[in-house]
Amino acid sequence: MKVQAAVHFEKSNELVIQELDLEDPRPDEVLIKTVACGVCHTDIWVQQNYTNAMVLGHEASGVIERIGSNIETLKSGDHVVTAYNWCGECEACREGRTWECDSFNDSFDGLRPDGTTPLSLSGKPVTPLMREGGFAAKMVCHKNSVIKVDSSLDLRLLGPLGCGIMTGAGSVLNYLNPEPGRPIAVFGTGCVGLSAIMAARIAGCDPIIAVDRLPSRLELAVKLGATHCANGENADIAKFIKSICGGVDYAFDTSGSSHLLDAMRKILNPGASACGVGIGGRLALNERERREGKSWTTTDTGFSVPPLFIPKLLEYHKAGRFPFEKMLHFYQFDEINEAFEANRACTVVKPVVLMEGRAYL
Ligand SMILES: [Zn+2]
Ligand SMILES: [Zn+2]
């Protein structure tokens, strides 16, 4: 079939909307009519580093149009979101750590295990990022990337649950698992950091300290659950945070900034758990800090098993405890390059591209 898609052709900041060929779903795949797809910093990174033809987008929501013959858990008409792909067969998947799946890198590049892809242009393969490719009118996705959601919810909101939101909330709820009433600091309040703040409120952390250099983001952080804010450009953030609570038992970094990681190191209480997803920046604890029981871990995907964790987040959302919609900013499909620019420039927290045209609103 033919589909409209925003195609990345070479290292550039420009996506080109054009028609591609999309194969029918194989026995373990589904065909989804895309409703919306979030823009993530990973899309920007791929755009600037990959030279092959790709359809980006890995935070999609949509409606299943057709299912492969081997699928019993999904059906046509189901409302779904997409998330990272996992094989279900390797040791990590069998032990429930799907985020460590052996095939993660191949599926990140958009390839099936046999090296093929469902998309093409004039017979040449086009790869859908993470075997999703959400910036297209339709997607063919592997069944493990597809999570059914409650059809009473507004599908336009739900795509970002599958990456940025899951990563931030999962880092707190799945990894840090904080005790109620204990202090936490979150460094960087983009989509991932703000999701961590909402999760820290669900967990009952107190205080919840948000650190960022953008005042508008700190204002939103307070609306979503932060009890205190620190300006990330403050020369002595550690001193400021210590004046609030002495030190923290939990810390989460999304900035990768050496200035902020240095501040984080200074505020960790003995026994504190810290984690982060910042590309590049990691906290290297010394021997003495480790003896004091301090720890650091990188929590890509928030250690989330998407079909288990996303429905849990939606239960919090329905109860009014996880208002992630406050982070979203919508763009029409033909405004996709503006949505990417807004993400690059951090002028909005989470751009979401509506794939169904202007009539949809
Ligand atoms: Zn992402
Ligand atoms: Zn696996």
Q: pTM for the complete prediction?
A: 0.94
Residue 99 Cα to ligand 1 midpoint, Å, equals: 13
| pLDDT at residue 30 greater than cutoff 50 | yes
Kindly state whether residues 124 and 191 are assigned to the same domain.
Answer: no
Kindly state whether residues 55 and 151 are assigned to the same domain.
Answer: yes
Residue 85 Cα to ligand 2 midpoint, Å, equals: 9
Residue 239 Cα to ligand 1 midpoint, Å, equals: 33
Q: Write down the pLDDT at residue 360.
A: 41
Residue 305 Cα to ligand 2 midpoint, Å, equals: 12
Using alpha carbons, list the distances in angstroms from residue 7 to 139, 293, 305. Answer: 13, 48, 29
Tell me, yes or no, whether 79 lies in a domain: yes
Write out pLDDT tens, residues 171-191: 999 999 999 999 999 999 999
Kindly state whether residues 126 and 61 are assigned to the same domain.
Answer: yes
Kindly state whether residues 107 and 147 are assigned to the same domain.
Answer: yes
Q: Which band of pLDDT confidence, cut at 50, 70 and 90, is reported for residue 356?
A: confident
Tell me, yes or no, whether 75 lies in a domain: yes
Ligand nearest to the CA of 95: 2
Kindly state whether residues 77 and 150 are assigned to the same domain.
Answer: yes
Ligand nearest to the CA of 84: 1
| pLDDT at residue 361 greater than cutoff 60 | no
Residues 6 or more apart in contact with residue 265 via CB below 8 angstroms? 283, 285, 289
Kindly state whether residues 249 and 189 are assigned to the same domain.
Answer: yes
Cα separation of 113 and 334, whole Å? 33
Number of domains making up the chain: 2
Q: Write down the pLDDT at residue 332.
A: 95
- CATH number of the CATH domain containing 94: 3.90.180.10
Q: Which band of pLDDT confidence, cut at 50, 70 and 90, is reported for residue 65?
A: very high
> Among residues of the chain, what percentage have pLDDT more than 70?
98
Please provide the average confidence, as pLDDT, over all residues in the chain: 94
| pLDDT at residue 358 greater than cutoff 80 | no
Kindly state whether residues 192 and 156 are assigned to the same domain.
Answer: no
Kindly state whether residues 295 and 331 are assigned to the same domain.
Answer: no
| pLDDT at residue 12 greater than cutoff 80 | no
Kindly state whether residues 97 and 117 are assigned to the same domain.
Answer: yes
Tell me, yes or no, whether 111 lies in a domain: yes
Across residues 298-302, what is the average pLDDT? 92
Kindly state whether residues 151 and 33 are assigned to the same domain.
Answer: yes
Tell me, yes or no, whether 315 lies in a domain: no
Helix, coil or strand: residue 272? strand
Tell me, yes or no, whether 276 lies in a domain: yes
Q: Write down the pLDDT at residue 357.
A: 58
Write out pLDDT tens, residues 106-121: 888 899 999 999 999 9
Tell which wins on pLDDT, 303 or 256.
Answer: 303
Kindly state whether residues 21 and 131 are assigned to the same domain.
Answer: yes
Ligand nearest to the CA of 87: 2
Domain range for 126 is 2-162+323-360
| pLDDT at residue 146 greater than cutoff 70 | yes
Q: Write down the pLDDT at residue 108.
A: 87
Kindly state whether residues 193 and 240 are assigned to the same domain.
Answer: yes
HSE toward the beta carbon, residue 194, CA cutoff 13 A: 26
Tell me, yes or no, whether 297 lies in a domain: yes
Q: Write down the pLDDT at residue 359.
A: 43
- CATH number of the CATH domain containing 192: 3.40.50.720
Nearest CA to 273 out of 246, 247, 304, 303 is that of 247
Tell me, yes or no, whether 317 lies in a domain: no
Cα separation of 345 and 213, whole Å? 13
Tell me, yes or no, whether 126 lies in a domain: yes
Q: Write down the pLDDT at residue 150.
A: 95
Of the listed ranges 5-19, 245-259, 302-316, the one predicted with least confidence: 5-19
Residues 6 or more apart in contact with residue 353 via CB below 8 angstroms? 36, 37, 38, 39, 57, 135, 330, 331, 332, 333, 335, 336, 339
